[in-house]
Amino acid sequence: MTRLLLVPLDDAVVFPGMSVTLAVDTADEERVLLVPRHDNEFAAVGTVAKVSETVRLPGGARAVVVEGLHRGVAGAAVTEPNGRLYVDVDERPDTEGEVPSRELRDLEREYRAVVEEILELLGADSRISSFLRSISEPGALADATGYSPDLNYEQRVELLQQLDVRARLELALAYQRERLAELQIRKRIRDDVESGAEKQQREYFLRKQMDSIRRELGEDDASVTEEYRTRIAEMDLPEEVRTQAQRELGRLERVGEQSGESSMIRTYLDWLLAVPWGERSQERLEPEHARSVLDADHAGLEDVKDRIVEYIAVKKLRQERGIDEDPRSGAILTLIGPPGTGKTSIGESIARATGRKFIRIALGGVRDEAEIRGHRRTYIGALPGRLVRALRDAGTMNPVIMLDEVDKVGADWRGDPSSALLEVLDPAQNHSFRDHYLDVELDLSGVMFIATANVADTIPGPLLDRMEVIRFDGYTTTEKLAIARGYLWPRQLERNGLRPGEVEISDELLRTIVTEYTREAGVRNLEREIGTLLRKTATRIAGATSAPDTRADAAAGTPIALEIEAVRDALGRQRHFQESAVRTAVPGVATGLAVTGAGGDVLFVEATAMPGTPGLTTTGQLGDVMKESAQIALSYVRGHAEDLQIDRSRFEERAFHVHVPAGAIPKDGPSAGVTMVTALTSLLTDRPVRHTVGMTGEVTLQGRVLPIGGVKQKVLAAHAAGLTDVILPERNRGDIQEVPDEVRQAMHFHFAMTVEEVLAVALEPATVTAGA
């Protein structure tokens, strides 16, 4: 232990190797202990320093120059009579001359590299680097960190108190790394700011040069606004639209090209002037020509064709008689029917027949009202609605616009597009339609709107009320045969790389494909099956399979005649059967008629009874209305047992079960009421239902048969299923006129007011059952 004079340093730290001048009186001491002090709290470790010189400061004060030698740990303190404070010091000099370990050398190299990078970032004097390279001892190298002006008092004290050289160097390296990271971030920020400023300055000069070039070429801002002004003057704009366009053009001139708002104004002007104001297609008002075009493109669909011909004829008559066109007399047709019946494709034929442009807008899945009305200009990236875009694409104000799948429009928090369609599809309002983006009135009265849907149930009532509904109830087998021969077969030949006349098929084979491989209201699956058949044939012709006789026929130019074997090979086994005779051979099964989203269909109602608790079980995914129909049917049969010649004992301690296959398909509606009564009566009287009979109608507890809907589709389904007799409610007698003549002549219709009339036609005679 060595006793040395303690010299406190307020908020300062002196490291070994440093030389400082202190305004203190050290008497005649040769060495002192310099100890950092903060708020009268001394550090545990100080620096043993040699007093190398005594100097006199201006004003007569004394000062000493001291040089730090090494660290010293302060021990017990004692105050001398002269008032000076001495402490016992455990001197801790760094060991010099020892070979440092490899790890210590790595730390030393990394420290030097970090400090060099810091000095480079700071642009420090090269003499500092030279001073750093002159330090050879690891401890002294770590103490050199004390020269850094970025270390605070606590960090300096912590570094001073590290007696172990390795720990001291690690701590110094950590401080320098923090400093380096901070400097790098500052440099990156400074570089980004400088590069941004340079870029802005560069763009400024380039824009000035571009302005000069534009002025030389006559393409400056004045020419852009002049171009808009010329377009506005040349176009046949409504007065309101012209005023709006000139107002926006004035704003564009005021804000200038450099403003961020100028691009928004120019986009708005581009859209406003893109609408074909005053442009109209020259309509061809020839009813005979329109009918011929529609007949050439589509078989059947007489209702639609008649309505289009009527529209053209009325318009022609008004024009010939000089009657001004009424903006509230627009045509808005809605085609409702199963998929594949030609609703979408007939829109193009209507446009061709009337000489108008055709635009299709798909509305399936649309949930945003702005899709119809457009976005307001306050939003970034705002655009007009689909109607404005359709008019722009058409280039005229009187195109045929098809609103496809209008029954599949959704609604969510963004709005209800079907509500926006109320104005569009109302002839009394759409002559003043206002798009949110353009914010001017658009006259849509010249547009022929054609909406399509599969079902009317999902179309909101107010919207459906504005539409002129034309129902597509599907095609008969003969019509499908004509469509396949005249349209589908030639189209599939071309799509599969076959020449006209290269492959032939008989009407009998086409009928086989229609009846045995498809059972749909439309012809989409029929075309798919024909395509499959012709692809197989094209594969054989191309030699993908071994068929030398087919290759020879094709090479010789002889048409390839398809046989039933080729159909079975390409399409597989028969998929649809006329199974009414088999299904109704036993009592308790009746054939009903129904309407689905895909058209009419035949369904079988099965009834059975078993010993058990009296009650009724229904299966087959029946809806509430259909379950109630089953309960009504059982109640009617039980209440009129004597009239139906049913023994009352057959109801005692017996449970009844009504099932409607197929069980995986949900079913609902009241029109199966008479079918359920017939099935239960057949079961309880042991009289089978005639296999040629199909029936439909709602039944009441008094046995009345009420009218139903979808007569045409149900009759077409019965005809396709091979039924020859159809029982309908008496009040549906007039609906038979909608059924094609071919089907009406092939079937017998029985109209019933009561259940007794239904059963008289539907059930086999009692003598047949008794004889059996």
Catalytic residues: 671, 714
How far apart CA 71 and CA 65 sit, in angstroms, is: 18
Residues 6+ apart with CB under 8 A from 417: 363, 366, 367, 368, 369, 371, 372, 409, 410, 411
Which residues touch 259 (CB under 8 Å, ≥6 apart)? none
Measured CA to CA, the distance from residue 330 to residue 315 in angstroms comes to: 10
- The DSSP line for 170-207 is HHHHHHHHHHHHHHHHHHHHHHHHHHHHHHHHHHHHHH
- What phi and psi values does residue 145 have, to the nearest 5 degrees? -60, -25
Q: How many CA atoms lie within 13 A of 102 on its CB side?
A: 0
Query: What is the pairing mode between strands 400-404 and 448-453?
Result: parallel
Rounded Cα–Cα distance for residues 571 and 428 (Å): 52
- For 346, the token pair is 């007939």
Axis-axis angle for helices 755-762, 673-685 (nearest 10): 60
> Alpha-carbon distance 694 to 699, whole Å?
16
**SS3 for 268?**
helix
User: Cis (ω within 30 of 0) for the bond into 598?
Assistant: no
Q: Beta 62-79 vs 45-56: how paired, if at all?
A: antiparallel
Q: Phi and psi of 628, rounded to 5°?
A: -65, -35
Residue 445 exposure: Cα atoms within 13 Å on the Cβ side? 13
DSSP assignment of 541-577 equals HTTSS--HHHHHHHHHT--EE--HHHHHHHH-S----
Q: What angle do CA 191, 192, 196 make, to 5 degrees?
A: 115
Q: How far is CA 415 from the centre of its chain?
A: 16
How far, CA to CA in Å, does 355 sit from each of 45, 229, 282, 458, 617?
102, 33, 7, 33, 60
CB atoms within 10 A of CB 263: 10
Distance in angstroms (rounded) separating the CA atoms of residues 715 and 594: 10
CA diameter of the chain: 150
Residue 75 phi/psi, 5-degree rounding, is -115, -130
Q: 339-350: buried (b, 16+ CB within 10 Å) or exposed (e) per residue?
A: bbbbbbebbebb
CA distance 190 to 243: 50
Count Cβ neighbours within 10 Å for each residue of 677-689 and write b for 16 or more, e otherwise.
Answer: bbbbbbbbbbbbb
How far apart (Å, rounded) are the C-alpha atoms in residues 447 and 276?
13
Q: State how far the Cα of 694 lies from the Cα of 717, in Å rounded to an integer.
A: 10
Backbone angles phi, psi at 22, to 5 degrees: -120, 135
Cα–Cα distance, 2 to 438 (Å, whole number): 94
Residues 16 and 492: their CA atoms lie apart, in Å, by 98
The SS3 of residue 697 is coil
User: Are residues 526 and 477 in contact, defined by beta-carbon separation less than 8 angstroms?
Assistant: no
Q: What is the DSSP letter of 378?
A: T
